[in-house]
Amino acid sequence: MATTSIINTSRIAIVGLGQLGGSLALRLGEIKCRSLYAISRNESSIKDALDRGILEGGSTDASDILPVVDLTFICLPLTASIQFVKDNIDHFRPGSIVTDVGSVKGDIVRELRHILLDKGVYFIGGHPMAGSEKSGWSNCNSKLYQDAVVFLTPTPEDEPIAIDLVKNVWQNIGARPIEISVDRHDKTVAYTSHFIHLLSSAICKTVFSGSDDEAHELACGGAYRDTTRIASSNVNMWTEITKYNHEFIKNALADFKDEINSINDYLENKNWQEIERYFSDAKSKRDQWFKQ
């Protein structure tokens, strides 16, 4: 199957025009995929997308769209994604493929894969490593996925052709789809993103605890600004992510606490050589990652 043909032959629906779904719609519109549809509770986003000419159709009612599409991208928060599939299970076209963009894959794949498969619909979990602390249709950007890693979490029993189709759509829009197991994915993102969101919030709470907020406000500079940027993210979304991935997040937090305890020991013992080694080792790891 040539990679261009998928975009040229498939009818694609996007469910949810938030930052992730909306940016996907803008990009698919830009590369002129055959037929693009959107489902959203937000009529004004749909109207705007239709006005811009990137959609063949849009509706607030999923039953208008799902029966006619080959591939559905669910771009909703985690609980809403699961609920959407359950509420609309009879509208998906048998033989079609459903994928998502949720940040945690365990419960989504466990819940959705079998109920969709019972209806002859394939589910391939997906998670693009993209997005910012901003949300909503107004913060969409057709370049959001350029060169972004997109994890796909098929199970060994899934149809290779379904996996390939999802993979090829991501490749067509300039992203880098990579297959990974569900558990390895969830553990990985707990460490590289999810637990860091909790830390970032904890920094805000530590710095502005009320003890001397006036002076602290004056003294916050680039270090505070950058380490707490993600604490400005969508609260509901991150509460859900934390809930769905709490076991792996607890592992990451425990490992992090070990690091903090080591640092504390060095401080207690005035072991500046170990502090220097610690900063140096961290800098090496960060610089090595950054230059990739």
Tell me which residues in 202-221 interact with its own copies (CB under 8 A). 202-209, 212, 215-221
Q: According to CB under 8 A, which residues from 162 to 181 bind its own copies?
A: 178, 180
235 binds its own copies (CB under 8 A): yes
- C-alpha–C-alpha distance, residues 94 and 23, integer Å: 27
SS3 289: helix
- Contact status: 283 vs its own copies (CB under 8 A): yes
Q: Which of 2, 147, 157, 290 binds its own copies (CB under 8 A)?
A: 290
Q: Which is nearer to its own copies, 56 or 133 (CB)?
A: 133
Is there binding between residue 281 and its own copies (CB under 8 A)?
yes
The site for its own copies, by CB under 8 A, has a size of 88
d(CA 196, CA 266): 23
The two tokens of residue 172 are: 């067509």
Contacts of 292 (CB under 8 A, 6+ apart): none
Residue whose CB is less far from its own copies, 89 or 230: 230
123 and 99 Cβ atoms separated by less than 8 Å: yes
Query: Where is 38: in which H helix or E strand?
Result: strand 35-39
Q: Is 183 in the site for its own copies (CB under 8 A)?
A: no
Q: Does 275 sit near its own copies (CB under 8 A)?
A: yes
Facing residues of 15 across strands? 39, 74
Q: Which of residues 64-83 bind its own copies (CB under 8 A)?
A: none
Cβ-based nearer residue to its own copies, 2 or 260? 260
Q: Which span (24-32, 54-62, 66-74, 226-234) binds its own copies, by CB under 8 A? A: 226-234
Selection from 185, 273, 179, 196 nearest residue 231 by Cα: 196
On whether the CB atoms of residues 84 and 62 are closer than 8 A, the answer is yes
User: Is 229 one of the binding residues for its own copies (CB under 8 A)?
Assistant: yes
Residue 41 near its own copies by CB under 8 A: no
* Nearest approach, Cβ of residue 225 and its own copies (Å): 7
Q: How far is the CB of 105 from its own copies (least distance, A)?
A: 12
Question: Measured between alpha carbons, how far is 71 from 165 in angstroms, rounded to an integer?
Answer: 9
Whose Cβ is closer to its own copies: residue 89's or residue 203's?
203
- Distance, C-alpha 206 to centroid of its chain: 28
Q: Nearest CA to 253 among 188, 198, 185, 189?
A: 198
Instruction: Tell me the closest approach of the beta carbon of residue 32 to its own copies, in angstroms.
Output: 28
User: Is 18 in contact with 131 (CB distance < 8 Å)?
Assistant: no
Instruction: List the x/- string, 122-161, binding to its own copies by CB under 8 A.
Output: -------xxxx---------------xx-x----------
Residue 114 CB coordination number (10 Å):
10
Considering the complex, state which of residue 61 and residue 226 has its C-beta at the smaller distance from its own copies: 226
